């Protein structure tokens, strides 16, 4: 029995308390207790019997003062409306009816968030590229229910064949000249038109034709094994490129770099071959045309010293053979000429005779000895090369000059035999050079 009465008392107390809370007015705020500058905020004071509260009059207050109708404030029965809120309106509000006061609600006023448009890969694109425009709200406001509208000049962009609008992203695929225009992004919280912001996105520039990458190497000629060769893939127009490298092999190899350089360290013979590159950007990737093919020639550094020696030997042998042929020709000419001279009548001018005798001399004591002398001089020049380090280049040039000089008088001698006195002087000067070379 005692227990029962206790329960009854308890229930009565609970009932009274619940009735009291039921009767307390409550402030409901639309659209939110957090609003942006310029928005309209509405506060409704409600008691449990909503039908009754509609026509009830409430006293509104904030922390500073009682609220009455004013320029931006409208009090109407149970409703307080503030239009065009400013930071100044940020406060706590509550309503009072008789002795009953609602709990206070805190209304926060924020400036509109900053929005930006990010364009990938670039605001300047080539025909055929895919461009993505992304409208981004400051991070702390992203959780709000934003709505994004896209405009191309003054027209709203809707999804179509090449345009895809997906919330805050506008994707334009296979860009054409017709896409060259101004794009805008408009952000707005759903149902709150006063949060609308128009963000100047980009002026999209569209360039006509596909560009071509340019491939160069830091090394000309042969690369010795063990060295490093660095290839450069140039794509000067615009930015945001990645670079794709190809080597001709059984299966074409492909490597990707963020930068324009591709280095092959510790080069081996197998690194030799054809290389080419191209640039690409975006998603899906838009590729430039391939560069021209670049050959990397690799020489084995171990064999290279002997091979360069071999080269010299080869040149020497080649020169010797050449001289041999020239002398053979000369000999032939001389012999036929000699036959002619002996046949010819005595009407020959003395000068010609002299020249012929000089030629004769040249050829007679020249033929075999000159050949060996040739080799000799070449060798001695080589020796000088090794010992006399003072002017490598000059002595190197002397090698070449020597060959030239040797050829010159021979040719002239040949011509000489055929005609003209004038050239005799040249022969003389030529023979001077020969002497010079021999001295060296
Ligand atoms: C509120 O008052 C209006 C007239 O001012 C009346 O037409 C309406 O029925 C009342 N509503 C309630 C719920 O009392
Ligand atoms: C409030 O009024 C509506 C009609 O206007 C009625 O349907 C509803 O039942 C009423 N609610 C209460 C709690 O009296
Ligand atoms: C790239 O290739 C296309 C198609 O082969 C060609 O029309 C265009 O001229 C090329 N561009 C350059 C810069 O070579
Ligand atoms: C270069 O490659 C050769 C042969 O593969 C190897 O023996 C050598 O250690 C390498 N050198 C460097 C510096 O990596």
What's the pLDDT at 412?
Answer: 42
Nearest in space to 97 (alpha carbons), one of 21, 23, 29: 23
CATH number of the domain bearing residue 87: 2.60.40.10
49 CB near ligand 2 (under 6 Å): yes
**Rounded mean pLDDT of 236-253?**
83
- Supply the pTM of this predicted model: 0.57
Task: Report the atom number in ligand 1 closest to the C-alpha of 55.
Answer: 1
Same domain, 327 and 424: yes
Same domain, 133 and 235: no
266 CB near ligand 4 (under 6 Å): yes
Is the pLDDT reported for residue 262 higher than 90? yes
Domain that holds residue 226: 214-299
**Band of residue 122 on the pLDDT scale cut at 50, 70, 90:** confident
327: left (phi over 0), alpha (psi -120 to 50) or beta: alpha
Q: Could you read off the pLDDT of 26-38 as tens digits, one per residue?
A: 999 999 999 999 9
Same domain, 68 and 183: no
Helices marked H in 26-129: 50-53
Q: Whose CA is nearest to atom 11 of ligand 4?
A: 266
Tell how far the Cα of 297 is from the centroid of ligand 4, in angstroms.
Answer: 18
Q: Could you read off the pLDDT of 410-436 as tens digits, one per residue?
A: 444 444 444 444 444 444 443 333 333
Tell how far the Cα of 175 is from the centroid of ligand 3, in angstroms.
Answer: 17
Q: Is the peptide bond before 284 cis (omega within 30 degrees of 0)?
A: yes
What's the pLDDT at 303?
Answer: 66
Same domain, 254 and 269: yes
Same domain, 425 and 408: yes
**Rounded mean pLDDT of 276-296?**
92
11 CB near ligand 1 (under 6 Å): no
Same domain, 74 and 17: yes
- Under 8 Å CB-to-CB from 239, ≥6 apart: which residues? 121, 122
Tell how far the Cα of 49 is from the centroid of ligand 2, in angstroms.
Answer: 9
Same domain, 231 and 191: no
Write the burial class of residue 407 (CB in 10 Å: 0-12 exposed, 13-18 middle, 19+ buried).
Answer: middle
160 CB near ligand 1 (under 6 Å): no
Report the percent of the chain where pLDDT is more than 70.
63
Same domain, 234 and 322: no
In the chain, the number of structural domains is: 4
**Rounded mean pLDDT of 164-181?**
94
What are the structure tokens assigned to 119, written together?
A: 């364009």
**Rounded mean pLDDT of 336-359?**
43
Is the pLDDT reported for residue 87 higher than 80? yes
Same domain, 284 and 351: no
Ligand nearest the Cα atom of residue 77: 1
- Under 8 Å CB-to-CB from 94, ≥6 apart: which residues? 27, 60, 61, 101, 102, 103, 104, 105
76 CB near ligand 1 (under 6 Å): no
Q: Could you read off the pLDDT of 340-349 as tens digits, one per residue?
A: 544 433 433 3
362 vs 369: CA distance, rounded Å: 11
**Rounded mean pLDDT of 8-36?**
72
Ligand nearest the Cα atom of residue 228: 4
The gap from C-alpha 243 to its chain's centroid, in whole angstroms, comes to 7
């Amino acid at each position: 029995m005692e227990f029962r009465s206790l329960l009854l008392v308890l229930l009565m107390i609970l009932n009274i308390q619940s009735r009291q809370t039921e009767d307390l007015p409550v402030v409901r705020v639309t659209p939110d207790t957090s609003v942006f500058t310029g928005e309209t905020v509405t506060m409704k004071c409600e008691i449990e019997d909503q039908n009754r509260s509609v026509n009830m009059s409430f006293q509104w207050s904030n922390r500073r003062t009682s609220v009455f109708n004013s320029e931006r404030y409208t009090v109407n029965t149970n409703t307080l409306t503030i239009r065009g809120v400013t930071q100044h309106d940020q406060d706590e509000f509550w309503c009072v009816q008789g002795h009953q006061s609602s709990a206070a609600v805190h209304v926060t006023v924020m400036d509109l968030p900053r929005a930006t448009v990010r364009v990938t890969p670039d605001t300047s694109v080539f025909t055929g590229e895919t461009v993505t425009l992304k409208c981004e709200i400051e991070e702390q406001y992203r959780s709000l229910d934003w709505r994004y509208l896209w405009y191309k000049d003054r027209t709203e962009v809707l999804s179509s064949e090449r345009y895809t609008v997906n919330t805050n992203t506008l994707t334009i695929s296979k860009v054409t000249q017709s896409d060259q225009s101004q794009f805008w992004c408009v952000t707005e919280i759903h149902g709150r038109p006063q949060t609308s912001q128009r963000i100047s996105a980009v002026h999209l520039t569209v360039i006509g034709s596909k560009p071509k990458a340019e491939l160069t190497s830091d090394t000309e000629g042969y690369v010795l094994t063990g060295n490093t060769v660095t290839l450069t893939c140039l794509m000067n127009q615009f930015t945001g490129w990645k670079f794709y490298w190809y080597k001709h092999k059984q299966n074409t190899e492909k490597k990707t770099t963020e930068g324009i350089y591709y280095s092959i360290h510790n080069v081996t013979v197998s690194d030799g071959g054809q290389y080419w590159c191209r640039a690409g950007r975006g998603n899906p990737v838009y590729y430039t045309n391939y560069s021209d093919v670049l050959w990397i020639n690799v020489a084995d550094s171990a064999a290279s010293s002997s091979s360069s020696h071999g080269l010299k030997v080869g040149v020497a042998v080649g020169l010797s053979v050449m001289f041999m042929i020239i002398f053979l020709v000369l000999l032939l000419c001389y012999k036929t000429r000699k036959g002619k001279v002996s046949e010819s009548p005595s009407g020959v001018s003395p000068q010609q005779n002299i020249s012929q005798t000089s030629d004769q001399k040249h050829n007679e004591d020249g033929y075999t000895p000159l050949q060996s002398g040739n080799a000799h001089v070449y060798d001695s020049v080589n020796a000088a090369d090794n010992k006399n380090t003072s002017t490598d280049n000059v002595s190197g040039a002397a090698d070449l000059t020597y060959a030239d000089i040797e050829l010159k008088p021979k040719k002239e001698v040949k011509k000489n035999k055929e005609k003209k006195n004038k050239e005799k002087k040249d022969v003389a000067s030529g023979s001077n050079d020969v002497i010079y070379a021999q001295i060296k």
